[in-house]
């Protein structure tokens, strides 16, 4: 059993970020938003921001430095940072040249970073672009479906190439985006691991991999594409990975043709748990195997670049590069995660700095103005208390489900958000203004509910507040609530391709609202949501991390997100009945 000195992941994440600022005088930290940034960034240059869940160190905070990232935003372990965190980072480092967000292709990151970018553009007038990295080849076209390929260690090469280009050429945001897309289109990664990782403070995943190896492992504990048992020799494993990376006849995985490539970059990445001795041996065998395929690498990078906590595995990244990309990769940088780590003299300045308040955007400004639409605040508070308590009580079950079909954080994330909402339930309830109340609720979710769930709930309740403001009624009734909820669902579905039948929370939310629109009772709607959730057992996943798990697991449990929606709706039904 793997043990940890930490049993509180939030403390672990903050302490890890603090150590970076402690040891490097050119780095600043805002603990409240878990943001690391470069103290002396030139605002005449495009600011580069990346981020995502913690647990991938040195990514992403370790790549903040001269010639790499301007700032990095950290979520909880394996969970995307919130929109509020990202927006704070954007406003802190943005200048007239704008901001480029570099993200990995995971649903939570896509939702949160794109929503933050939109808010920064529309409400604050900041030029912001988003570049998505999707270098994984192990999960091919058929399996990845609507989700697309995952972003893996190749993302670090994007950080380095664009960061150095921005510093050395002062390229504008369009040039950087063009170069970034060129890198991504020529980038492939495959990973392998001997074991799933245990997140500090949580029970180990109920998966035994004795004498096995999993090909195609992600960086969030997702199962791979192939479980090999008994474990083949290392040389065979490496050749299987290179087949996935290089075989042009594999229609499912042939993303980049390296035939005749003049410049190839090889990155061998330690997923966190291999000793330097073993990892060094693996690097040598990878390079030898590539040369046997008539590819002589121009540049070989070997080290711990993007981890899955202490995962006992490694990944291989190949980049079909231009000479320009090679030069940017070889250029110096003081980013902690790129070169060998060193300890600097401690300095007198404080390690942590207080966040600069961000400007209030137009939506929040409107929310301050009273809508004059009243509602029953006491019933609302009963709904909040019952629904949130349901989520807290059901957290172990949702976590168990998500451990099997995801990365195990759904229950913890929803429970964390529920506790935050309970803390503010009395403060946000204004009986004379339903719009302000719902807007404040959305703000709590945007700040305290991270991961994919946070993005979806934030979008839905933000849309709900907007729809309520547009209503002609002066006092909320059942019909007004149903109409606003239905339009909010439409707004949410403009932001995500998820629909009922994709094995997501939509399988509970969509039938609930549709049943109410049909004029049926609240009890009928809750029953429809529960039936929709139960129907996800055995359903093929089209979106989310469940796409990457073996199909046999789909039969065992319903979708965790749908279970969370049912908890909320059952609380609604119990509070109103």
pLDDT single digits (tens) 305-334 = 999 999 999 999 999 999 999 999 999 999
Q: How many helices and strands in the chain, by DSSP H and E?
A: 19, 12
* 494 pLDDT above the threshold of 60: yes
Q: Which of 309, 273, 307 is nearest to 200 (CA)?
A: 309
The mean-pLDDT minimum among 46-50, 430-434, 446-450 falls in 446-450
Task: Return the structure tokens found at 199.
Answer: 């997140």
* 49 pLDDT above the threshold of 70: yes
Whole-number mean pLDDT of the chain? 88
- Predicted model pTM: 0.79
Report the distance separating Cα 567 and Cα 389, nearest Å.
9
Check residue 218 and give its pLDDT: 80
pLDDT single digits (tens) 221-261 = 777 778 888 889 999 999 999 999 999 888 888 899 999 99
The proportion of the chain whose per-residue pLDDT surpasses 90, expressed as a percent, equals 64
Kindly indicate the confidence band of residue 546, based on its pLDDT and cuts at 50, 70 and 90. Answer: low
Place of tokens 């639409």: 373
Check residue 372 and give its pLDDT: 86
Query: Are the beta carbons of 488 and 460 closer than 8 angstroms?
Result: yes
Check residue 209 and give its pLDDT: 59
Phi, psi of 37 (to 5 degrees): -145, 160
* 367 pLDDT above the threshold of 50: no
Query: Are the beta carbons of 258 and 295 closer than 8 angstroms?
Result: yes
pLDDT single digits (tens) 163-185 = 999 999 999 999 999 999 999 99
Check residue 356 and give its pLDDT: 54
Q: Exactly one of 40, 159, 220, 424 is catalytic; which is it?
A: 220
Phi, psi of 547 (to 5 degrees): -60, -35
pLDDT single digits (tens) 81-127 = 999 999 999 999 999 999 999 999 998 899 999 999 999 998 899 99
Check residue 556 and give its pLDDT: 85
Check residue 363 and give its pLDDT: 45
Mean pLDDT confidence for 35-39? 96
* 208 pLDDT above the threshold of 60: no
Which domains are present in the chain? 9-198+210-345 (3.40.50.10440), 373-576 (1.25.40.340)
Check residue 143 and give its pLDDT: 74
* 353 pLDDT above the threshold of 70: no
The proportion of the chain whose per-residue pLDDT surpasses 70, expressed as a percent, equals 92
**Binding-site residue positions for substrate:** 53-56, 104, 109
Q: Which of 382, 376, 367, 450 is nearest to 422 (CA)?
A: 382
Kindly indicate the confidence band of residue 10, based on its pLDDT and cuts at 50, 70 and 90. Answer: confident
Angle at 60 between CA 187 and CA 335, to 5 degrees: 95
Active site residue 220: yes
| Strand duo 264-270 + 299-303: pairing | parallel
**Any residues with CB less than 8 A from the CB of 226 and at least 6 apart, and which?**
214, 215, 216, 240
Report the distance separating Cα 165 and Cα 170, nearest Å.
7
């Amino acid at each position: 059993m793997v043990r940890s000195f930490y049993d509180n992941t939030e403390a672990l994440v903050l302490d890890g970020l603090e150590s970076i600022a402690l040891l490097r005088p050119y780095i600043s930290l805002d603990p409240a938003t878990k943001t690391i940034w470069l103290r002396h960034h030139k605002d005449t240059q495009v600011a580069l921001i990346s981020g995502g869940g913690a647990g991938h160190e040195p990514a992403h905070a370790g790549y903040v430095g001269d010639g790499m990232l301007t700032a990095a935003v950290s979520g909880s372990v394996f969970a995307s940072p919130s929109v509020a965190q990202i927006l704070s980072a954007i406003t802190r480092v943005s200048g007239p040249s704008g901001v480029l967000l570099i993200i990995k292709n995971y649903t939570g990151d896509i939702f949160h970073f794109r929503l933050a970018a939109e808010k920064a553009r529309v409400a604050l007038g900041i030029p912001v672009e988003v570049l998505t990295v999707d270098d994984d080849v192990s999960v091919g076209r058929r399996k990845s479906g609507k989700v697309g390929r995952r972003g893996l260690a190749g993302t670090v090469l994007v950080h380095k190439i664009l960061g150095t280009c921005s510093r050395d050429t002062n390229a504008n945001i369009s040039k950087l985006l063009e170069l970034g897309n060129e890198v991504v289109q020529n980038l492939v990664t495959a990973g392998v691991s001997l074991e799933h990782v245990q997140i500090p403070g949580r029970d180990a995943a109920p998966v035994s991999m004795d004498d096995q190896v999993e090909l195609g492992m992600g960086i969030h504990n997702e199962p791979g594409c192939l479980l090999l048992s008994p474990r083949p020799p290392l040389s065979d494993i490496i050749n299987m990975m290179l087949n996935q990376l290089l075989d042009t006849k594999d229609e499912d995985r042939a993303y980049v043709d390296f035939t005749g490539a003049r410049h190839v970059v090889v990155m061998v990445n330690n997923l966190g748990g291999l000793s330097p001795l073993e990892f060094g041996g693996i690097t040598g065998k990878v390079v030898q195997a590539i040369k046997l395929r008539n590819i002589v690498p121009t540049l070989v990078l070997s080290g711990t670049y993007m981890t899955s906590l202490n995962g006992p595995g490694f990944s291989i990244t190949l980049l079909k590069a231009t000479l320009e990309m090679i030069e940017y990769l070889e250029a110096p940088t003081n980013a902690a995660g790129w070169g060998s780590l060193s300890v600097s003299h401690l300095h007198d300045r404080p390690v942590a700095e207080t966040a600069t308040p961000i400007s209030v955007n137009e939506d929040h400004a409107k929310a301050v103005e009273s809508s004059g639409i009243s509602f029953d605040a006491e019933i609302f508070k009963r709904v909040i208390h019952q629904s949130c308590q349901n989520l807290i009580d059901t957290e172990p079950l949702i976590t168990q489900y998500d451990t099997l079909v995801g990365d195990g954080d759904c229950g913890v994330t929803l429970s964390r958000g529920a506790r935050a909402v309970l803390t503010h339930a009395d403060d946000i309830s204004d009986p004379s203004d339903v719009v302000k109340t719902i807007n404040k609720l959305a703000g709590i979710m945007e700040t305290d509910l991270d991961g994919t769930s946070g993005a979806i709930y934030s979008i839905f309740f933000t849309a709900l507040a907007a729809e309520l403001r547009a209503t002609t009624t002066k006092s909320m009734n059942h019909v007004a609530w149903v109409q606003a909820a239905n339009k909010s669902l439409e707004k949410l579905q403009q932001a995500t391709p998820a629909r009922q039948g994709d094995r997501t929370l939509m399988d509970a939310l969509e039938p609930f609202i549709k049943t109410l629109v049909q004029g049926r009772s609240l009890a009928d709607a809750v029953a429809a949501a529960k039936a929709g959730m139960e129907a996800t057992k055995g359903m093929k996943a089209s979106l989310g991390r469940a796409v990457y798990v073996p199909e046999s697991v789909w039969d065992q449990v319903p979708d965790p997100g749908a279970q969370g929606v049912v908890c909320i709706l059952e609380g609604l039904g119990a509070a109103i009945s």
